[in-house]
Structure 1
Amino acid sequence: MLSVALGTLRARWVTFVGGFVALALGVGLLTVMGLTLAASLDAPTRAPERFAAAPVVVKGADTLRVPTPIGDRSQKLAEPRAVPPAAVAELERLGRVTPDRSFAVRARGGPGDLVGHPWSVATFAPYEIASGRAPRAADEVVVSGTWAKPGQRLRTQRGSVRVVGTVADRGIEHAVFYTDARAAQLQPRSVQLATDADATAVRNAVKNITGVRVLTGADRRYADPDPDRDREALTALNALFGTAGGVTAFVSVFVVASTFAFAVAQRRREFGLLRAAGATPGQLRRTVAAEALVVGVAASAAGCALGRYGAPRLVRWTVDGGLAPDWFATGDAVWPYCAAFSTGVLVALCGVVAASWRAGRTGPAEALREAAVDNRPMTWGRWLCGGVLLLAAAVLPFLGDPGGLLHRKSYVSRPMLLITAVALLAPALVRPLTRLLAWAPARLPGAVGLLVRENAAAAVRRTASVAAPVLVTVALAGSLLGATATLDAARAAENRARTTAAFVVTPSAGGFDGATLKSLRAVPGTEVSVTSASAVYVLEDGVALVRSEARAADPDALAATARLPLSAGRTTGLDDGSIIVNEEWERHTVGQRVRVWLGDGTRKTLRIAAVMTRGTGDNGVYVTPANAAGAAVDRVDVALADGADAAAVAAGLRRAVREDGGRVRTADQWIASTYPRTDRTTRLGFLLVLGIALLYTGISLVNTMVMATSDRVRELAALRLAGATRRQVLRLVGAEALTVAAVGALLGLLVTVLNLAAVGAALHVLHAPDALTLPWPALAATTAGCAALAVLAATATATATAAAAAAAATRTPHPSASASAQ
């Protein structure tokens, strides 16, 4: 059987090249995803940066730890605590103590992420004067980098200052160094400090003081800004590549299996001849399996080589796009090659099992009769599997938490189930869809429209196989982009309904200071609601420490500028001893008391004053400013008093924040700039996921179309013998390709609608706006691209085989004649 398989490979090389290309590309993509995923598992350990020269660093509490029956649970505090005064007193007895006071600085013409420090901590980086001198007066500063020069005056939200020196930029931050006395005025709190005392003596001195952490050696990096940024970046990359890998694996397995099954289905006449020559069903199956094994091994090896070539380029793209840190690179992991190779061989074998089993069961005469027309394209196995998957896709999403349907993993993975179900049921849908699409062309003068309808409807398996890549392409683009557009629109509508303020004022960086807030409140004709961002932590089910984003606001001012989506209670019922929660909380009944930890780790028991609906998941909790100590004011909502002039109020607000660098926008402008929140990183991530999948399916569409058209040499020859010109044949082939692409696009649109309907139902259950948003431009562009690829591939292949068709027509009867003769 191996010799027969090798002979068949030589004789039908076009068919097997199609399968080889599909499998090699699929394995290549799996290898690329595996290598990048393996590289995102471990982050390098960064050396200390800001305190590289400090012997010992002491930090206040920045992590909340709560004991549970299954061990401690921890969360990063929204508001780290300052080093306790008792600890500072103990450390001052041991040696010199240098507090690190960090605060946001906004300077006109400067970087947007300026950070202020006392000059005394510059020596720990170490920073050294590159030009000028150290600051000596309250209005003197030293800056890092070259964006300002000595002698230059800077206007900041904290007053005008003069640059008296610069230090080299160490790539850590954009720093502004004040005198120690001025820094203490601007930022009284110090969440960390450096000391030159012996580390053991420091630990002994603070061992009985709660909430103090001593950092030495490599641990001093935890005193740097965002010390876990590398690990957090890799966690995001891991999620991104995991999602992309899952989509890629599904698309590649789907396309490869479809391509191999189609390649076997094309050879039913050949199988019938072998059966007539005495081959047993088992021999036939073993032959097909041997062919698939040979192609699978060769294509998988080629795919691994492609993956080795492509992975570094994908990594470079993610780094250039800002998705990954500069140091991110592919490693030397071996398991991605093994996993991709074995998956490729397994998919190749599985792709031919069902088709070869069906071919082996048919008798010789039956196989020859079925060679021309698909009389029974749907087997009981396809009906059963397709029906079960369709039922599962319709029922499973609503068996659990409806909020889970709004998570990215859910709306990325759910279309795969629907695509598989619709693809299995496609042969039953192809004939009515084809007749519907070709109904009008079939009534036009000439035979092209009629032939398009009958050819596509008769060759159901061929039509379904060619439509499969289009189905995947349109369904993925429509489902992913439609789900994100629907959720973004729901969040925007939800926020629009919640915001009743006329203006929203936000700082350029950090938060507003007291003087600016006083000026904003003094603007006549306004009702001002000052809010700040914090967090609240609650232990649910006794084992899960859950963080909820919180906003701190005065309840009366909040009620005047916002309309919270309350299901129970009143906004004005909020006070220093209560909290407004949402229905996602384990306890969410008005009047109940909940034990929580505030943003700085303070443990309190608060009464539930009101309950909000869950919505899209952006409804956090509300507390009063007394329960959000240390949280910076990052938003001011302004409502107009009766009779107030909006233009005059806007001008007054702009004057109030001019020195602070704040921005005044109408509520609609603020919502438009804030929602949807699809930032550049998210867009690049979706581009990665969709780009890889759509590029692969596009190549597979061309590949499948070439396979399908090249197998119709005798059919095209019969048309030429019947009097059709070459131009008419090409027009027929192009029209058929266009019809098949339209069938695939309609099936993909069906998957998109079903997927978005589930998202809309979940939004309705969660009391959120449920207006579905179909990405028509993306759907139209994807469909047009698939149609163009299909027509070009079909007509190009038909042109290339025209000479073969003419030669075949003179020596081989048309298959329909052979079939009728049976």
Structure 2
Amino acid sequence: MLTIALHSLRTRWSTFLGTFTALSLGVALLTVMGLTLASSLDAPQRQPERFATAPVVVQGRNTLSVPTSIGADVSRETRKLAHPHAVPEAIVARLKQLGRVVPDRSFPVHAEGGPGSLVGHPWSTAAFAPYEITAGRAPRTADEVVVTGDWVRPGERVRTDHGTVRVVGTVPARGFETAVFYTDARAAELSPKSTQLVVEADARAVREAVKGTSVHVLTGAARRLADPDPDRDREALTAMNALFGTAGGVTAFVSVFVVASTFAFAVAQRRREFGLLRTAGATPGQIRRTVCAEALVVGVLASATGCVLGSYGAPLLAARVVEVGLAPDWFTVGDAKWPYHMAFWAGLLVALLGVVAASWRAGRTGAAQALREASVDSGTMTWGRLLCGAGLLLTAVVTLSLALVTDPGELLHRKTYVSRPMLLITAVALLAPVLVRPSTRLLTWLPALLPGAGGMLVRENAAAGVRRTAAVAAPVLVMVALTGSLLAATATLDAARAGETRERVTADFVVVPAGTSGPAGSGPPLSGPGFDAPTLRKLRAIPGTTVSASSSSAVFVLEDGPALIRSEARAADAAPLAATTHLPLTAGRVSDLDDRSIIVNEEWERHTVGQTVDVWLGDGTRKSLRIAAVMATGTGDNGVHLTPANAPGAEVDRVDVTLAAGADPAVVAGALREAGGHVFSREQWLRASHPGTDRTTRYGYLLVLGIALLYTGISLANTMVMATADRVRELAVLRLAGATRGQVLRLVGAEALTVVAVGGALGLLVTGLNLAGMQGALTLLSVPTPIRIPWPQLTAV
């Protein structure tokens, strides 16, 4: 059998070249994704940056640790507090007896013409990085600063949100921040709270001094936890794991789908050859073994080639994700070996599985029946294929129905709307022989009525060659369905969130602290210093307005047994909140909110008005609160609402203003600006807060769809070549019947476009089914939103 297989490979090299190309490219993609995913599993140990030379860093309490239990097992759940504590004065006094204590303060700074991520510090902390002055001198007065980098020169004056300052010195940038150093006294005025400090003393003595307290002592490599955004490496790894995991899953599905389809089509093309072998005395088992031997040889060669191609492609992909900022600068492809094994054996397995069903059918074909077989495909829908396709379709419908009944919000999660299309794509592809012929006749109905035989030939050729049409349409089906499902899902969710924001915000104006540019997406609108007390008094004193001052916070609750869940919160007084915001309540009233209650959403395990829930506030304080009202779940961004008394440590970072009857909007807007802050009208705020796909997700989709589009495009052309090469004799008959070369070319091109249109129609069918489920979920979650279909992108695909 192996000898016959090798002779077949040599004589039918054009057919096997197509399967070899599809498989090697698929294995290459699997190798690339495996290598990049393996490289994102571990990050190098980052060394301390801001406090590289500090002996000891002491932090106030900044975590919440809650004991949990599952049966007899007891553990602790730990979460970061929304409002870390300052180091208690009593402990600071003890530490000062051991050595010099330097409080650290960090606060955002907005400078005209400066970088957008400036952060302020006291000058005394600069020595611990260490920062050394390269030009000028240290600051001595409240209006003097030292800056990092070369964006401004010593002697120049810069307007900031903390007043106009004079730059008296510069220090080299160290890469992890762009800093502005004030005098210690001025920094204390701008940021009175210090959550960490440096102690120039022996570490053991410091630990002994704070023994039994809730403060953290950081030494050695642990000092990196005091750096700005110490979790950025872990967060970057999590984002890359999600990105490459999703890309790898989609790539694996697309490659397996296309490779299996190509192998099955290649075997189906040779049914007359198998009939000849049967006439010569070959048994069904010998036919099957021959086909499997051919697939084994092609699979080994193509998988090995794909691994080599992937080893060259992975570093290119890693460099690209670093270049666009999806990965940290340190990210490179490592030397993991398991991705090669995974890709090689997966490719070989796909090659063998791709021919099993077709070879079984070829072996069962009788010799005379095979020799009499016409060009029209018959019996393409076997009972096994029909049962598998119907089973997958039924599974998709049942799981969708269960999700709609039990947890509609699950359908809005990215992992769900990325994976669900694959189930439907496979089901529709298996049922394609049933769908292809009527779809083809429908699409070619009008061209077939035109004068001449061209339209009729296109219709009959495409409808007769069901296997060829299905094999060519398969890559198009995958690409259109994935593009439509993923991009339409994100666009629809963005529109739903924007609709929620529009319904919620009823204020005429929204004011944020000076120096901030507006909301960050659909989440908490600000990340910066809050309003000071004098500014709030001025805002509240403006006549003809109702003012609701609110702050960002968080609460923690134990749910589902041992799970410590963090919920984002807004803290505001009940009466102004009700006058400036329309919360999507399903029970209760906003006016019932007080210092002993909370407004939750339906996602909470306990969400009945009047029930009591035990929560931990943003500073870690435990409290029992009565549920005053319940909000709809929506798209998951509703969070909870508290009074300011239950958000200790939270600064007011947003002021909603509603006009009284007869108040002049222009006069009120001018008064708001004069009081201090960045003033938005309602429409300006809604435009600024319109949710959009975050950068990582957007590039991730471009990566996934770009790779899938490239691969399916190559596979489509490859399958076209295989299909057309098998029709040489048929096309020659057309030439003998009087068709010109141009007519034959136009006929082949029209058939190709028809088949691609069939694949596109099936892809749109899958997209529609997926989006119908999402719209049902949004309706059940009280967010009725029309489906947004990305027609330009679908048209381009």
Report the TM-score when normalising by structure 1.
0.93
**Alpha-carbon shift at residue 156 of structure 1 (Å):** 2.3
- Greater Cα shift, 319-328 or 168-177: 168-177
- Greater Cα shift, 617-626 or 673-682: 673-682
Secondary structure in 1 matching 2:134: strand
Partner of 2:775: 760
CA distance in 1, matches of 2:603, 2:142: 50
Superposed CA offset, 1:627-683 (max 9, x none): 2222233322222221223333333333444xx5x3x33323322332222133321
Give yes or no for contact 1:532–1:631 (8 Å, CA) kept in 2: yes
Q: Out of 585, 592, 613, which is 2:611 matched to? A: 592
2:303 partner letter: S
| Unmatched runs of 5 consecutive residues or more in structure 2 | 517-526
Are residue 547 (structure 1) and residue 584 (structure 2) matched?
A: no
Q: Out of 420, 428, 433, which is 2:426 matched to? A: 420
Partner of 2:151: 147
Give yes or no for contact 2:107–2:529 (8 Å, CA) kept in 1: no
Superposed CA offset, 1:190-225 (max 9, x none): 10011111111111111111x210001111111101
Partner of 2:62: 62
2:11 partner letter: A
Secondary structure in 2 matching 1:61: coil
**Alpha-carbon shift at residue 506 of structure 1 (Å):** 3.0
Report the TM-score when normalising by structure 2.
0.96
Partner of 1:815: none
Secondary structure in 2 matching 1:129: coil
CA distance in 2, matches of 1:299, 1:19: 9
Give yes or no for contact 2:597–2:642 (8 Å, CA) kept in 1: yes
Give yes or no for contact 2:550–2:570 (8 Å, CA) kept in 1: yes
Partner of 1:46: 46
Secondary structure in 2 matching 1:37: helix
Partner of 2:639: 620
- Greater Cα shift, 24-33 or 394-403: 394-403
Partner of 1:561: 580
CA distance in 2, matches of 1:506, 1:293: 66
1:45 partner letter: Q
Superposed CA offset, 1:333-379 (max 9, x none): 00000000000000000000000001101111222233511121100
Give yes or no for contact 1:142–1:166 (8 Å, CA) kept in 2: yes
Judged with a 3 Å threshold, the aligned counterparts in structure 2 of structure 1 residues 635 and 369 are, in CA distance, closer, same or farther, namely: farther
**Alpha-carbon shift at residue 558 of structure 1 (Å):** 1.2
Partner of 1:672: 687
Partner of 2:727: 712
Partner of 2:450: 444
Give yes or no for contact 1:48–1:220 (8 Å, CA) kept in 2: yes
Give yes or no for contact 1:268–1:371 (8 Å, CA) kept in 2: no
Partner of 2:8: 8
**Alpha-carbon shift at residue 78 of structure 1 (Å):** 1.4
Are residue 480 (structure 1) and residue 498 (structure 2) matched?
A: no
Secondary structure in 2 matching 1:440: helix
Secondary structure in 1 matching 2:787: coil
CA distance in 2, matches of 1:93, 1:542: 45
Partner of 1:433: 439
Partner of 2:474: 468
1:144 partner letter: T
1:549 partner letter: E
Partner of 2:550: 531
CA distance in 2, matches of 1:636, 1:40: 42
* 1:153-302 correspondence to structure 2 within 5 Å: 153-209=157-213, 211-302=214-305
1:98 partner letter: V
* 1:632-671 correspondence to structure 2 within 5 Å: 632-657=651-676, 662=678, 664-671=679-686
| Unmatched runs of 5 consecutive residues or more in structure 1 | 783-822
Give yes or no for contact 1:300–1:341 (8 Å, CA) kept in 2: yes
2:688 partner letter: S
CA distance in 2, matches of 1:246, 1:722: 50
Give yes or no for contact 2:571–2:643 (8 Å, CA) kept in 1: yes
1:245 partner letter: G
CA distance in 2, matches of 1:242, 1:75: 26
Give yes or no for contact 2:122–2:181 (8 Å, CA) kept in 1: yes
Partner of 2:744: 729
1:511 partner letter: P
- Greater Cα shift, 4-13 or 34-43: 4-13
CA distance in 1, matches of 2:763, 2:512: 43
Partner of 1:751: 766
Secondary structure in 1 matching 2:633: coil
- Greater Cα shift, 756-765 or 165-174: 165-174
Give yes or no for contact 1:141–1:164 (8 Å, CA) kept in 2: yes
Secondary structure in 2 matching 1:581: strand
Are residue 691 (structure 1) and residue 702 (structure 2) matched?
A: no
Aligned length: 777
CA distance in 2, matches of 1:335, 1:371: 47
CA distance in 1, matches of 2:299, 2:164: 71
CA distance in 2, matches of 1:73, 1:599: 15
Secondary structure in 2 matching 1:589: coil
Are residue 123 (structure 1) and residue 136 (structure 2) matched?
A: no
CA distance in 1, matches of 2:115, 2:652: 21
Give yes or no for contact 2:31–2:343 (8 Å, CA) kept in 1: yes
Superposed CA offset, 1:10-35 (max 9, x none): 11111111100000100000000000
**Alpha-carbon shift at residue 255 of structure 1 (Å):** 0.2
CA distance in 2, matches of 1:412, 1:541: 26
2:550 partner letter: T
Superposed CA offset, 1:76-116 (max 9, x none): 11111111222212211211111112222222222222222
- Greater Cα shift, 153-162 or 361-370: 153-162
Partner of 1:393: 396
Partner of 1:742: 757
CA distance in 2, matches of 1:48, 1:627: 35
Partner of 1:795: none
Q: Out of 626, 635, 639, which is 1:607 matched to? A: 626
Give yes or no for contact 2:480–2:794 (8 Å, CA) kept in 1: yes
Judged with a 3 Å threshold, the aligned counterparts in structure 2 of structure 1 residues 632 and 316 are, in CA distance, closer, same or farther, namely: farther
Partner of 1:375: 378
Partner of 1:806: none
**Alpha-carbon shift at residue 468 of structure 1 (Å):** 0.4
Partner of 1:810: none
**Alpha-carbon shift at residue 294 of structure 1 (Å):** 0.6
1:739 partner letter: T
Secondary structure in 2 matching 1:535: strand
Are residue 411 (structure 1) and residue 406 (structure 2) matched?
A: no
Judged with a 3 Å threshold, the aligned counterparts in structure 2 of structure 1 residues 114 and 519 are, in CA distance, closer, same or farther, namely: farther
- Greater Cα shift, 152-161 or 226-235: 152-161
Secondary structure in 2 matching 1:351: helix
- Greater Cα shift, 18-27 or 763-772: 763-772
Give yes or no for contact 1:359–1:367 (8 Å, CA) kept in 2: no
CA distance in 2, matches of 1:171, 1:263: 56
**Alpha-carbon shift at residue 596 of structure 1 (Å):** 0.6
Q: Out of 494, 503, 512, which is 2:530 matched to? A: 512
CA distance in 1, matches of 2:109, 2:586: 41
CA distance in 2, matches of 1:519, 1:315: 53
Partner of 1:630: 649
**Alpha-carbon shift at residue 511 of structure 1 (Å):** 3.0
CA distance in 1, matches of 2:372, 2:608: 71
Give yes or no for contact 1:528–1:637 (8 Å, CA) kept in 2: yes
Give yes or no for contact 2:243–2:697 (8 Å, CA) kept in 1: no
Are residue 306 (structure 1) and residue 309 (structure 2) matched?
A: yes
RMSD: 1.4
- Greater Cα shift, 584-593 or 361-370: 361-370
